Amino acid sequence: MLVIDLAGKRAFVAGVGDDRGYGWAIAKALAQAGASICVGTWPPVLSIFQRSLERGKLERALPGGGQLEIEKIYPLDAMFDSPDAVPADVREDKRYRDVEGYTIQEVTDALLRDFGGRPLDILVHSLANGPEVQKPLLDTSRAGYLTAISASAYSLVALIQRFGPLLRPGGAAVSLSYLAAERVIPGYGGGMSSAKAALESDTRVLAYEAGRRYGLRVNTISAGPLASRAARAIGMIDRMVEYYGKNAALPEVNTAADVAHAAAFLCSPLAAGITGTTLYVDKGYHVMGMVAEFGQAGTGGGESGGAR
């Protein structure tokens, strides 16, 4: 039987702060395949995440039995490469004041202290932030645009710069993109579409550069929309999910598990020949050229081509 086997491998999942997003689902899928899991959590939500985990408020059950066990939680703000890059107003912010070691370099150093050598096999980039995401691009400020690019795209470059030497031979990195990288999605503004386009372009370049330097495979998943807590910032996420469910080639909404299983595959030896790829996991929405005509495109089960 051909299975995804990640036994003996360690994954670092950057961008986990609750149990509703793609990052959490990917962590669970990797754990189900046998990997040990470390996560990087944004400092402002770190204490809430830790308390929720300790009090059993997060959905940790794995299909087939057992539950997700997190080996170590690291504070991580991927906007900052090293301590000297953290502005004074951030250091003094009450959400950061009592948190230490949250820059990328500090997390790198902590992983080396905790595990030694080359402790990682898998890097998952589940990071995105666009402070002006609800603004049209034409109304986006330079600061908002650059923040979106920095937090959502350059953060992958910065993580691979420092984590690359920590990844064992055959290592893999995977990030999360969205169709706005190549098509217009009204309402997904603030420079986030540009950030996703940069992320996909960087994936191709990093596949070459990190492949030659570290033997690392780098891929991204263009995922359909998910009504996660973070996605609520978009302001129209429920409408986006509903639209995908009605107009995708498979007229249904993709789930977090769909994306997580694809990520586990890309990070496994079964995908050893795949790098530099944008993999669509959106029930085929990306192939559609127009809105589905309800009542004509039957699903084979007597239903109209979209409504559920």
pLDDT for 232 equals 58
295 found inside a domain:
no
Note whether 171 and 120 are within 8 A (CB): yes
CB atoms near residue 264 (< 10 Å): 26
pLDDT for 24 equals 97
Catalytic one among 188, 214, 280, 285? 188
**Tens-binned pLDDT, residue by residue, of the chain (308 aa):** 899 999 999 999 999 999 999 999 999 999 999 999 999 999 999 999 999 999 999 999 999 899 999 999 999 999 999 999 999 999 999 999 999 999 999 999 999 999 999 999 999 999 999 999 999 999 999 999 999 999 999 999 999 999 999 999 999 999 999 999 999 999 899 999 999 999 999 999 999 999 999 999 999 999 988 766 665 566 577 888 888 889 999 998 889 999 999 999 999 999 999 999 999 999 999 999 988 865 444 444 333 333 32
pLDDT for 226 equals 76
Instruction: Please tell me the total count of domains within the chain.
Output: 1
pLDDT for 264 equals 98
308 found inside a domain:
no
| Non-local CB neighbours of 225 within 8 Å, separated by 6+ positions | 178, 231, 237, 240, 241, 244
Report the candidate in 175, 219, 170 with the shortest Cα–Cα distance to residue 8.
170
Q: How many CA atoms lie within 13 A of 161 on its CB side?
A: 12
pLDDT for 231 equals 59
pLDDT for 126 equals 97
298 found inside a domain:
no
pLDDT for 241 equals 84
Residue-range definition of the domain harbouring residue 123 = 10-287
Report residue 256 as tokens.
């977090």
Name the maximum alpha-carbon separation found in the chain.
62
Burial status of residue 71 (CB atoms within 10 A of its CB: 0-12, 13-18, 19 or more)? middle
211 found inside a domain:
yes
118 found inside a domain:
yes
pLDDT for 297 equals 46
CATH at residue 66: 3.40.50.720
Is 178 among the catalytic positions?
yes
Is 145 among the catalytic positions?
no
200 found inside a domain:
yes
Which amino acid, one-letter code, is at 286?
Answer: H
CB atoms near residue 114 (< 10 Å): 12
Catalytic one among 96, 145, 178, 285? 178
